Amino acid sequence: MTDRIGFIGLGNMGGRMTRRIVDGGVPVLGFDMNRAAVEGAGATLADSGTDLLGATDVVFLSLPDSKVVEKVVLGDEGFIRSLRPGMIVVDLSTAAPSSTHKIHARLAEVGVDYLDAGISGGAAAAEKGTLTLMVGGDAAALERVQPVLAHFATNVFHMGASGAGHSTKLLNNFLNAVSLAATAEVMVAAKKAGLDLSTVLDVLNSSSGVNFATLNRFPKIIHGDYLKGGLTNALMMKDVVLYVDHLHELGISSLNAPGPLASFGLANALGYRDEISNTVVDAIGDVSGHIRLHEPREEGLTE
């Protein structure tokens, strides 16, 4: 028997992943407060979250943070009552592992597997179906949902028990934040120094300073393409805070957190909160003499 698929939260990432599943020939029952998002992703609209649960076997969640996930899963007993033994809930959100443990334990009481599946790759990879997933939870449950995951992910890693996927996601996102913020600062300095930015990137990408931002982001940014559609500055800041909280729980000193906290905090304060996190380079440029890496500046970004 083929599992019936449900998807709750069809926003920036959820909608793209749903579209990949639907285009792969698998029907999806979707629920989101934005009805148009469900229809736009090609899913069938469920009247409510509980109706969706009653008509599906595997349910994916793609929600903003742990508070929202807990509100959806634990805040309304109707969600728990609508679950059936043997169902699988896959949480694709970026969430606190401590919250993940709590939800996993509660769903286990009613015979439901809860997989925490951190994702990496952003909107572009979601559209191409080339996301990387890091998953915590039961290995057999992961194997069961693997055919569905294959529609939007090319790399799926089983990281261990409940919480391991979300923990790995926070560690990865922190390194992403560090490299983006640090490279933004370097590129603003290079511009101020009068260096040719394309050549600077060639040097970095052939040297020890190479990172994801130098390889994949700044070759576009220096020409005014900010690769819109990905993680916003507000969400990046949220992820870094989650990382710091997680390290506090683990008893690890987060010595390198001040840099990205300051950089993305600055971007949020200067009005770039809802812009893609790549615009952190403009926030740094704003306080460095209104420096821009490219001319003319792309329309539509915050002055």
DSSP category for residue 209: T
What region, left, alpha or beta, does residue 176 occupy, with left being phi > 0 and alpha being psi -120 to 50 degrees? alpha
Residue 115, helix vs strand vs coil: strand
Strands (E), the chain: 5-8, 28-31, 44-45, 58-61, 88-91, 113-120, 131-136, 153-160
Q: Which amino acid is at 262?
A: A
* Rounded Cα distance, 218 and 278, in Å: 9
What region, left, alpha or beta, does residue 211 occupy, with left being phi > 0 and alpha being psi -120 to 50 degrees? beta
CB proximity list for 294: less than 8 A, separation 6 or greater: 221, 222, 223, 224
Which residue among the candidates 169, 191, 228, 238 is catalytic per the annotation? 169
| 220 annotated active-site | no
DSSP category for residue 193: T
Tokens of 274: 């809802």
What region, left, alpha or beta, does residue 289 occupy, with left being phi > 0 and alpha being psi -120 to 50 degrees? left
Q: Which amino acid is at 285?
A: G
Peptide bond into 296 cis (omega under 30): yes
Among 57, 49, 56, residue whose Cα is nearest residue 113: 57
Among 34, 212, 7, 38, residue whose Cα is nearest residue 117: 7
Task: List the catalytic residues.
Answer: 169
